């Protein structure tokens, strides 16, 4: 099935403003690196507060980073809410490591969107793979 790629307005300016006021990722130190329609890249430095009892990055911290990229990319196309997400943790992350989540739109229809998010270290080592589906709300 071909992706529906309508002439949608570019919501990135509005989404950037909303993100600046989104306290949860801000308190975690997640920074927006790049945002274009259907694409987002965010980063965070893993701090001591983000570690689990194995002294590596907590899965919830990695999930939050990926979910933040997912939300930014999908909402850049207009209002969207998550329907389903999954994550595979690939490798451990040590404290002090900077990790990036890059969300790429795979499929867009009038009602749904599918996004693939890769979490990787600054050295390019894959940390996690996240996939999300959104329901696209009416404008």
Q: Convert the pLDDT of each residue in 54-65 to its tens digit.
A: 999 999 999 999
- pLDDT (average), residues 135-139: 88
DSSP state at residue 23: H
Q: What is the pTM of this model?
A: 0.93
DSSP 46: P
- Residue 60 domain-assigned? yes
Say which CATH number the domain at 62 has: 3.10.129.10
Helices within the chain (DSSP H only): 12-20, 23-28, 59-75
Q: How far is CA 3 from CA 26, 55, 72, 99, 119, in A?
A: 33, 42, 19, 30, 24
Evaluate whether residue 2 is within a structural domain.
no
State the DSSP H helix or E strand holding residue 128, giving kind and residue range, or none if neither.
strand 126-136
Counted domains in the chain? 1
Q: What is the pLDDT of residues 54-96, one digit of tens each?
A: 999 999 999 999 999 999 999 999 999 999 999 999 999 999 9
């Amino acid at each position: 099935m071909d992706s529906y790629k309508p002439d949608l307005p570019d919501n990135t300016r509005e989404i950037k403003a909303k993100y600046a006021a989104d306290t949860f990722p801000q308190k975690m130190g997640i920074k927006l690196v790049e945002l274009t329609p259907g694409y987002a890249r965010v980063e965070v430095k893993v701090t001591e507060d983000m570690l689990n009892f194995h002294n590596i990055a907590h899965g919830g911290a990695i999930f939050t980073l990926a979910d933040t990229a997912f939300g930014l990319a999908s909402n850049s196309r207009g209002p969207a809410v998550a329907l389903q997400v999954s994550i595979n943790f690939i490798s451990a992350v040590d404290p002090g490591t900077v990790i990036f989540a890059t969300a790429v739109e795979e499929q867009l229809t009038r009602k749904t969107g599918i996004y693939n998010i890769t979490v990787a270290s600054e050295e390019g080592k894959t940390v996690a793979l996240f996939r999300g589906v959104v329901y696209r709300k009416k404008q």
